[in-house]
Amino acid sequence: MAGLSLRNASISLVDGERTFKVEIDVLDVPEGQAVALTGVSGSGKTLVLELLGLLRAPDAGASYFWKGQNLASLWSKGPRNRALAQCRGEVFGFVPQTGGLLPFLTVSQNIGLSQSLTGRMDSDWQAALIERLDLGDVSGLFPAALSIGQRQRTSIARALAHRPAFVIADEPTAALDPSSADQVLELFLEIAQAQGSGVILSSHDQDRIARHGIGQLKLAMVPGGRPLSRLVVV
Ligand SMILES: Nc1ncnc2c1ncn2[C@@H]1O[C@H](COP(=O)(O)OP(=O)(O)OP(=O)(O)O)[C@@H](O)[C@H]1O
């Protein structure tokens, strides 16, 4: 399969008295398609997105491949090694849950960041994103002066600007009203599809995901003693 292929992965968090584990037997993300991780709050959606985006190491024994490259092995030289950071920056674009914009950069500087970090400068594409995401009037403003929707659209533009193979978006519409959420999601999926990026997003809102025709992977808490969540096919 062309795309991301994760097998036999888990993430274990132990923090004093608190423990939490997510288990994933199989997770495939085809290139150029969108999938959504759903599940209740606290079921581990953000953790799995971080694992997929090389922001968090899986437990030992996981297999994680893209284009024949073993992405899981990139962690073997530590979390700050250059190959890991380079792969993360070049293959993925991120839309963090809170927007994650740098407060000291303007909208257009924030959007240009992913291009300058990867050396993929493309001012025409940057201008097209600003126009498509309706950010022209605010492109010179700093994030503090933006509405939540404008921040979210800026974050989406930044994640797409370097044309990553995959865009990872953590609850990209959670802070928006229902009609803006539908519009932003539609636009996001349309632009990602136009440039051939795969999209992996998380959402609480299974109805919205279904309405947009996005395939779903659900994280479900396993009943019983210890906090354990497992990915199930829905
Ligand atoms: N350091 C830690 N030690 C133990 N458990 C942790 C630690 N950090 C996070 N967790 C637990 O990991 C679980 C998964 O968190 P995560 O943020 O991935 O959930 P989520 O599904 O994205 O939630 P939400 O929808 O509310 O954003 C939570 O139950 C949280 O309590």
Q: Please report how the helices 123-132 and 148-161 are oriented relative to each other, as an axis angle in degrees rounded to 10.
A: 150
**Can you read off the two tokens belonging to residue 225?**
């003693």
Q: Which atom of ligand 1 is nearest to the CA of 219?
A: 21
In 3D, which of 185, 166, 158, 186 has the Cα closest to residue 174?
Answer: 185
Q: Is the CB of 231 under 6 A from ligand 1?
A: no
Residue minimizing CA distance to atom 14 of ligand 1: 44
Phi, psi of 186 (to 5 degrees): -60, -45
106: left (phi over 0), alpha (psi -120 to 50) or beta: beta
**178 CB burial (10 A radius; 0-12, 13-18, 19+):** exposed
Q: Which atom of ligand 1 is nearest to the CA of 20?
A: 5
Task: Give pTM, 2 decimals.
Answer: 0.94
Domains of the chain in start order, with CATH, are 3-233 (3.40.50.300)
Provide the 3-class DSSP secondary structure of residue 133.
Answer: coil
How confident is the model at residue 38, as a pLDDT? 93
How confident is the model at residue 117, as a pLDDT? 92
- Rounded to whole angstroms, the Cα distance separating 46 from 51 reads 9
- Rounded to whole angstroms, the Cα distance separating 4 from 203 reads 20
How confident is the model at residue 1, as a pLDDT? 58
How confident is the model at residue 176, as a pLDDT? 82
Q: Is the CB of 20 under 6 A from ligand 1?
A: yes
Q: Is the CB of 46 under 6 A from ligand 1?
A: yes
Residue 68: CB partners within 8 Å, gap ≥ 6?
A: none
**β-strand 92-95 against 166-170: which pairing, if any?**
parallel
Local mean pLDDT, 10-residue blocks, the chain (234 residues) = 90 88 93 91 94 96 95 93 94 91 97 94 95 94 94 93 95 85 88 88 90 92 83 76
